[in-house]
Amino acid sequence: MVRKVVWSEEAVGDLEALAEYIARDSAYYAAAFVQEILDAGSSLSELSKRGRVVPEIVAPNIREIFVREYRLLYSVEESRVAVLGIIHGKRDLKRLWEKEKREQ
C-alpha cells in the first residue's frame, strides 16, 4: 500500500539542526546527508512497515529505520506515514523526547 509521507515540525527542526551541525565542517557533506535522509523518508511511502518497532516506545505503529548512525522515527497510519523525528543512535530517546515534550 502506498502512503503519503509527511514530516512533523519537530522532524524538520531535527533535520535542519543536523544540517547546520554537519555544515560547520562541510556544506557539501551536510547537503549529501540531508538528501540521504530525505530519500530514506520518501522510501517509506511504499515500504512503511520495514522499520523495527521502537524499543523505547513499544507501540506497533511507531517504527524506525537507521540512516547511518541516526534513527529516523515515524508513525505508520492508515493512509500516511508521519516522520516524527531524527535522533543520533547514541542519544537517550525517552529522556530527550520527555525533555522536549514530544508526542509519541
Q: Residue 38: which pLDDT band, with cuts at 50, 70 and 90?
A: very high
Q: Domain range spanning residue 43?
A: 4-100
Those residues with Cβ within 8 angstroms of residue 76's Cβ, 6 or more apart along the chain or in another chain: 3, 48, 49, 61, 63
Q: What is the mean pLDDT of residues 15-41?
A: 96
- Domain CATH code at residue 10: 3.30.2310.20
What's residue 102's pLDDT?
61
pLDDT per position as a tens digit, 48-81: 999 999 888 878 999 999 999 999 999 999 999 9
pLDDT per position as a tens digit, 76-85: 999 999 999 9
Domain total of the chain: 1
